[in-house]
Amino acid sequence: MNINIPHFYCYMRKEHMYQHKDHIGEFVKVTVFAAQSNPDRALLFHILTDDGLVRSRVPIHMLCHKETAPQMPLDYLQLWDCFSVNCTEVVYEYLKAARAKVVLKDKQELWGEYMMSFDWYGNPYSDEPTQYKSLHLIRLDNGCYTLQPNNRIFWKHMSFVTNPFPTNPDFKVDNKVFRCEAASDRWLIEGEDDSYYYNLKNETTNCNIERSKQPLDTNIVDGTLNT
């Protein structure tokens, strides 16, 4: 539920400390150091203020890195709720050099910088290929932060992305679960269970593959040895 994240410095809208009724338009300097994930709720953050107060469960639309940042709705800045209490955070090193153009739910396009990514596991949505989503935390140029899935971000990497993005992309969501042992009903292990170098027997082709005799550069595709 609670996970550490690489800390970063920004502002929190002070109204969050007054039930969103008072001190509107004022800001507090904070360090964001952790996140909290609960199913069917927005991803929330733990912060430390510059006067020594820890505040928990701060939503993304209450954080900004410019005092001139526009006040944007939460459902624009985070498109999907969290899937589970089982949440992980990672900073993809390769994406740290990338700029990102985010497409919000109203088709508004905003540029920003990649910060980190959040992913979920152990729930029916993340385990279903057509429903799987992760969220990338992007520091928008307008002063806001946003959490968006893969299909809402166009990445720009100067050393690799040189072609224009398709005008009308027609890509489909993934609908398959990939398993290495999905064909295990056609293969049997020959020999003793405690044998280190064992053979695999294909029941459908009677093809024996001896792992101990394969060269290191051998590939197995559909039961055929390719060298």
Residues 26 and 112 in one domain: yes
Domain boundary among 156, 173, 200: 156
**Are the beta carbons of 45 and 60 closer than 8 angstroms?**
yes
Q: Is residue 63 part of a domain?
A: yes
Residues 133 and 214 in one domain: no
Residues 127 and 35 in one domain: yes
Q: SS3 of 176, please?
A: coil
pLDDT computed for residue 135 by the predictor: 97
Residues 191 and 80 in one domain: no
CA distances from 127 to 80, 81, 118, 134 (A): 16, 16, 15, 12
Residues 8 and 114 in one domain: yes
Q: Is residue 136 part of a domain?
A: yes
Residues 44 and 89 in one domain: yes
Q: Tokens 């152990």 — which residue?
A: 122
Q: Is residue 111 part of a domain?
A: yes
Q: Tokens 């904070």 — which residue?
A: 30
pLDDT computed for residue 189 by the predictor: 67
Residues 152 and 214 in one domain: no
Q: How many domains does the chain have?
A: 2
Residues of the chain predicted below pLDDT 70: 182-189, 191-198, 203-227
Q: End-to-end CA distance of the chain, in Å? A: 48
pLDDT computed for residue 169 by the predictor: 82
Residues 149 and 188 in one domain: no
Identify the CA nearest to 87 among candidates 147, 28, 177, 11. 147
Q: 220: domain range? A: 184-226
Domain boundary among 118, 139, 156: 156
Residues 138 and 44 in one domain: yes
Q: Is residue 163 part of a domain?
A: no
Q: Is residue 173 part of a domain?
A: no
Residues 131 and 206 in one domain: no
Residues 111 and 214 in one domain: no
Q: Is residue 57 part of a domain?
A: yes
Residues 152 and 194 in one domain: no
Torsion, Cα of 169, 160, 79, 133 (10° steps) = 90
Q: HSE-up of 188 (CA within 13 Å, CB side)?
A: 9
Q: Is residue 14 part of a domain?
A: yes
Q: Is residue 175 part of a domain?
A: no
